[in-house]
Amino acid sequence: MQSTRRFFLVFGGSVILASTLIAWAGFELPISGCLALLVQGLILTSMACYVLEGDTAEETYTELSSSVPSSNLMVSSEVIWLDSLKESERQCVIITDDLRRFQQILNDAIPTLVSSFRSMHECASTQKELSGRIQDSPDGDALSSGFMGFVNQTQSTLAKFVDYTVQNSKVGMDIVDKVDTANTKVSAISKVLKEIESISKQTNLLALNATIEAARAGEAGRGFAVVADEVRSLSMRTNEFSQQIRNQIADVVAAIKEAEASVHSIAGQDMNFALEAKVQVDGALLRLAAINENIGGLLVQQGVIATEVSGHVDRAVTSLQFQDMVNQLANNMIHRVELVERLLTEFSSGRAVVSKGTGFTSDTLVSVQEKTQALRELSVKNPVSQQSMGHGDIELF
Amino acid sequence: MAKTILAVDDSASIRQMVSFTLKSAGYQIIEAIDGQDGLNKAKTQSFSLILTDQNMPNMDGISMIKQIRMIPAYKTVPILMLTTESSDAMKSQGKAAGATGWLVKPFDPQKLLEVVKKVIG
């Protein structure tokens, strides 16, 4: 009967320990459940060790009793018992130290991880802000629409430029026609001047004849001779004016010819270059608009990715809080293992007393009862009740 | 001017995460490493909100709230618990001590911000 109970205790403790290790390694069970299992396994194993070691000692005692004196066997059994209990106590101390090292490692690693995630979050926020700043112009209009405004304005200006160029070409052609008309008019003036010069010559000739006739008339023709001289003088002045006008008209003709050459040069230019340039610039502007639209799309995507990174960092921050939960669970475990260690100390000292046949003192029994009760309370007052890393409830009073 | 929040927790990583979450929303954060440290800081400086853990060495969160509520300037200042404790009994103790709300760890940064905005704007 006793051996069956011992078997279940040993077997149960081992299974719980193995299950804890599998659960921990595989992360299939919540952390709190794993740690609770581990403590239970530890306690059960310790208890089993206590019983088993005692039983083993008894069996050893039975086996040896047939061959050695009974007083020597009693001493040997006591040594084995005490050694087993001391080793269990030592293991409790080692487990406590290991748990503290476990806490220390997490305490060192997690702040670095949190710091890294914080930097990632800041980088993502900066990236998002930059994307937004590129997309939005200072007055709140989207950059893309501002850029399209620039493209439209450039196209409109270029169209006006081409229209003016074509218009100028047409005006040049008109000027050529008008210059031709002016040339014709100037030629007509030259003909009129020739008539004037001809009249002047005839007048001069008439005045000369009149002077001759006046001389022949003698004293009676003296007055007439004066008139004839005045007429001749007027004829010569007319001729001089005619020459001056002819000279001026020659200058005008020369100027008109120069203007005609310039206007011909303007009017004769091929206006297709302006139209071709417009087509090319239109094409370039459309490509720029497409590139701008593409960049706008990429910036939007970049903003979306930055938002996603922030979301991932938030989830990482939630998950990284496992350190605080595990730390509290480990503290609870340390307290429980320390109590188990103290109980084992009570057992080892009590065992020595029992072996002398004096029995446990009432103080020892009270102390064991208190520690057992404290162990039960620590199990109930576990500070962490969460079974997973999903965010906890929120309640406003 | 940014509102100042007192974050009380014995876990350095939790203080770090609370600070970074709230600072990103424009709040100013002062950290305290336990209830006693939190109480001392509350006496020397005014805060718009106090966010505290429960299980801490020297002085736990509920004891700290009781002490802080005795200070006239903190009669109406919101105090939120942020703890792994989630039992109804513990929540009742917190409410009786003067806590404004109870947030169970782990906290979701966005949810924490929502609650803080709801409480102090």
Q: Which of B11, B16, B115 sits opposite A394 (nearest CB)?
A: B115
CB A329 within 8 A of CB A33: no
Q: Which of A111, A317, A328 sits opposite B84 (nearest CB)?
A: A328
Q: Is the pLDDT of residue A310 over 90?
A: no
ipTM surpasses 0.85: no
| A320 against B53, higher pLDDT | B53
Give CA–CA dist A12/A21, Å, rounded.
14
Q: What percent of chain B clears pLDDT 70, i.e. is strictly above it? A: 100
Average pLDDT over all residues of chain B: 92
Q: Is the pLDDT of residue A39 over 80?
A: no
| A349 against B26, higher pLDDT | B26
Q: Which of B14, B24, B91 sits opposite A395 (nearest CB)?
A: B91
pLDDT of residue B32: 95
The whole-model pTM stands at: 0.59
pLDDT of residue B31: 95
- The CA radius of gyration of chain A, in Å to the nearest whole number, is 62
Model confidence over B63-112: pLDDT tens digits? 999 999 999 999 999 999 999 888 888 899 999 999 999 998 888 898 99
CB A336 within 8 A of CB A39: yes
pLDDT of residue A41: 58
Give CA–CA dist A382/A385, Å, rounded.
7
Give CA–CA dist A148/A290, Å, rounded.
10
Q: Is the pLDDT of residue B18 over 90?
A: yes
Model confidence over A115-152: pLDDT tens digits? 888 888 888 888 888 877 776 655 445 555 667 777 78
DSSP state letter for B106: S
Q: Which of B33, B65, B95, B105 to mutate to test the interface with A (most CBs of A within 10 A)?
A: B105
* 8 Å CB contact of A319 and B105: no
**pLDDT grade for A29, boundaries at 50, 70 and 90:** low
> Order of strands, edge to edge, in the sheet holding B28-32?
A394-396, B101-104, B79-83, B49-52, B4-8, B28-32
Q: Is the pLDDT of residue A58 over 50?
A: no
Q: Does B107 touch chain A (CB under 8 A)?
A: yes
Q: Does B4 touch chain A (CB under 8 A)?
A: no
Q: Does B109 touch chain A (CB under 8 A)?
A: yes
Q: Which of A42-51, A68-77, A242-251, A357-366 has the highest mean pLDDT?
A: A242-251
* 8 Å CB contact of A392 and B115: no
* 3-state secondary structure at position A382: coil
Contacts of A317 in chain B (CB under 8 A): 17, 20-21, 109
Q: Is the pLDDT of residue A325 over 80?
A: yes
Contacts of B111 in chain A (CB under 8 A): 391, 394
Q: Is the pLDDT of residue A66 over 70?
A: no
Q: Which residues contact B25 (CB under 8 A, 6 or more apart)?
A: B113, B116, B117
- Backbone region of residue A359 per phi and psi (left: phi > 0; alpha: psi in -120 to 50; beta: other values): left
Count CB-CB contacts under 10 A for residue A344: 23
Model confidence over A242-282: pLDDT tens digits? 889 889 988 988 888 888 888 777 776 767 777 788 888 88
What is the average pLDDT across B49-54? 95
Q: Is the pLDDT of residue A222 over 70?
A: yes
Number of alpha helices (DSSP H) and beta strands (DSSP E) in chain B = 5, 5
The contacts found for A199-204 with CB under 8 angstroms, 24 or more apart, are A199/A238, A200/A235, A200/A236, A200/A238, A200/A239, A200/A242, A201/A235, A201/A239, A203/A231, A203/A232, A203/A234, A203/A235, A203/A238, A204/A232, A204/A235, A204/A236, A204/A239
Please identify among residues 85-104 of chain B the ones whose CB lies closer than 8 Å to any CB of chain A.
85-87, 91, 95, 99-104
* 8 Å CB contact of B86 and A395: no
Average pLDDT over all residues of chain A: 76
What is the average pLDDT across B47-71? 94
Contacts of A385 in chain B (CB under 8 A): 84-87
pLDDT of residue B39: 94
State which residue of chain B sits closest to A327, comparing Cα positions: B11
Q: Is the pLDDT of residue B35 over 80?
A: yes
State which residue of chain B sits closest to A110, comparing Cα positions: B13
Q: What percent of chain A clears pLDDT 70, i.e. is strictly above it? A: 74
pLDDT of residue A27: 47
pLDDT of residue B77: 93
